[in-house]
Amino acid sequence: MIELSPQQREVVEAPLKPMAVSACAGSGKTATAVQRLAAIRERLDDRHGHIALLSFSNVAVDTFNRDYNALLQAEPGSGRIGGVEIATVDAFITSTIVRPHGHLVMGCARTPFLVHGSEPFLANFTVWDGNRPHPTTALRLELVKGVGLQFEVGRARTVIDQKAAADAIRKLAKVGAYSHALGSFWALRVLRTQPLILRALARRFPHILVDEAQDIGTFHQFILLALRGAGVQVSLIGDVNQGIYEFSGATGEFLDQYAKRDDVDGRMLSTNYRSVPSIVTIANQLSGRNDMAARTAPATLSGAYYFAYKKDEKDNALNSFAALLGQARIAVNDAVVLCRSAEWADDWAGGEEEQGRGVLRHFVDAAIQRDKFGRFDEAFKHCCAGVVGLLDDGHGALLSEVARHGTDERSSQALRRVLWTFVKDPANGLPSASLVADTAWQPALLARAEILLAALSAEHGLKAGDTWKAKLAKRNILNQPLMRPADLGIENVPRFRVSTVHKVKGESIRGVLYICNRSHLDELLGGTATEVGKIGYVALTRARDLFVLGVPANYLKEFAPKLDALGFAKAGGT
């Protein structure tokens, strides 16, 4: 068990009442949350009640499970075994509310299931925006002041007629399907219309702790408040400056306001154990916090730097980053290149020319994710979506069942093993992305998919759709490999992990390069008042030893004085 700081111990040993903990980046909140969970379990008189520790990513949940299990092993016989549920917020809502009780409000005669948008049967479920149809699964739900519940679709956030949206949602619900956005909607409907279920849930979960509470969206907020109103003691831990999901209604305001309630115990974690002091100093200036740095600067290169880059000379930028890592004695696999958007991340990772359409595109993406980036989880997700697309419409819930994290259903586990085998085997399963797409890769996929579908039919009773071969036809397939061979000289450029900032939130990384454009820099320097400013803050505070800011070369003269004043140093000196 780690030695807790005085602030951490105050949180762990606080009375059993609702709490709101404002925790800076790198403050050890994971360890604090796990220790608080164990303390509640130890002190709770009601042995029938469960304590839930929730977060917003499977990575965080895996970390919580690992640390809690280690704590149990370190203190055998502590009485903490059982009575604990660690899950993502959405998984908790799904397993405790939507799946067992959603049918009561959805009007379906089966257990509700999540759809991801790629299932073939969803072609029959659309909503009209006045000009054209959109998939019902693309609906976003927003609560607008003075308007109430509003339904939107598309990047333009087109507002959909209330009745049209409600009719489309009810039609989807009648077959038992719901999207990510609609899951919380139906869960809240259950809690507001089924008082017996609400009381039963409050009895079963007398304490709920929510990690990364700045990411609580509008419907999550209402669900937690409904449980709180029924007697659940809800505690939150997070950092409003890291609220980078405003597009989904998560502004951090709920965490900020929750601490001001009279019956809520407000606490602080204000020591950064992750980053070197110079990075913490800049983070404080951006966020308006006054956090302390626990570390001292190492003897090697460390801190926050910037350099100019040209987008058509990415290799030079990556080599410059590699040189700085060398001075800091940081290995390439301990570093990451971060971008604001997935499009930028794909571009900096060496994105491939788009090939394939519809179902075929899922298999293309699976092969590229596996062979170029080594992202087997992403490859598996794309492959699952592709396989489900080849099945008949009667298997609409299959993708949800197979993709569910930590499922313990034997049938789903067996099916996952079959699909994982297909994904991981380029010789007999999903063909290698190095093959020429139209003459080698697509024919091999067609032949192997036929074998796979026959096995799924014989072993799992899954029926292929009548037109499955047509879905794998050579549409938008080129006479070139899916994955281009390395360009001449590219072997001299280190192969960095490239990611979006959203995907690394919660991580601690020795070296970080954050690639910006002009607007990203403007908002980063403006602090954490905006979502993009918060994204820059999160990128900065992932770094343990070295943070490097990539500044577009044509804006370097404009931004250099501002960066110098903030505490950045120009890489390579003046």
Each residue's pLDDT tens digit, 42-59: 888 776 789 999 999 888
Provide the 3-class DSSP secondary structure of residue 22: strand
Intervals of CATH 3.40.50.300 along the chain: 6-94+188-269, 277-350+489-570
- Find the helix or strand (DSSP H, E) in which 304 lies: strand 303-309
Relative to beta strand 133-135, strand 126-128 is antiparallel
For 25-40, write each residue's pLDDT tens digit.
999 998 999 999 999 9
> Which whole number is the average pLDDT over 56-68?
89
CA angle centred on 133, ends 127 and 139, rounded to 5°: 45
> Which whole number is the average pLDDT over 467-489?
79
- Give dist(CA 194, CA 510) in Å, integer: 49
Relative to beta strand 113-114, strand 303-309 is unpaired
For 438-462, write each residue's pLDDT tens digit.
999 999 999 999 999 999 999 888 8
Rg, C-alpha atoms of the chain: 25
- Give dist(CA 194, CA 104) in Å, integer: 9
pLDDT at res. 433: 92
- Give dist(CA 505, CA 542) in Å, integer: 7
> Band of the pLDDT at 325, cuts 50, 70, 90?
very high
> Band of the pLDDT at 79, cuts 50, 70, 90?
low
pLDDT at res. 488: 36
For 474-483, write each residue's pLDDT tens digit.
888 888 888 8
Q: Which residue has the higher pLDDT, 1 or 78?
A: 78
What is the average pLDDT value for the chain, to the nearest integer? 89
pLDDT at position 395 over 70: no
- Give dist(CA 375, CA 103) in Å, integer: 36
Count of positions (residues) in the chain = 574
* Backbone φ, ψ for residue 475 (5° rounding): -95, 125
Burial of 539 per CB tally in 10 Å (0-12, 13-18, 19+): buried
pLDDT at position 519 over 80: yes
- Give dist(CA 104, CA 189) in Å, integer: 10
- Find the helix or strand (DSSP H, E) in which 265 lies: strand 265-269
Does the 6-94+188-269 domain belong in CATH 3.40.50.300? yes
CA angle centred on 12, ends 265 and 17, rounded to 5°: 35
Q: pTM above the 0.85 mark?
A: no
pLDDT at position 258 over 60: yes
For 527-565, write each residue's pLDDT tens digit.
999 999 999 999 999 999 999 999 999 999 999 999 999
Cβ–Cβ < 8 Å for 306, 574: no
Closest by CA to 90, choosing from 82, 79, 100, 98, is 98
Report the percentage of the chain scoring pLDDT > 70.
92
pLDDT at res. 460: 87
Tokens representing 292?
A: 């302390």
- Give dist(CA 241, CA 135) in Å, integer: 34
pLDDT at res. 40: 92
pLDDT at position 574 over 50: no
Fold of 277-350+489-570: Rossmann fold (3.40.50)
- Find the helix or strand (DSSP H, E) in which 210 lies: strand 207-210
pLDDT at position 487 over 50: no
Relative to beta strand 51-55, strand 497-500 is unpaired
- Give dist(CA 234, CA 251) in Å, integer: 19
Cβ–Cβ < 8 Å for 531, 277: no
- Give dist(CA 366, CA 472) in Å, integer: 14
> Which whole number is the average pLDDT over 271-292?
96
CA distances for 330 relative to 31, 172, 511, angstroms? 26, 51, 7
pLDDT at position 347 over 70: yes
Relative to beta strand 113-114, strand 233-238 is unpaired
pLDDT at res. 346: 81
User: Which long-range contacts link 488-492 to residues 24+ away (Cβ below 8 Å)?
Assistant: 489/315, 490/315, 492/315, 492/319
> Band of the pLDDT at 490, cuts 50, 70, 90?
very low
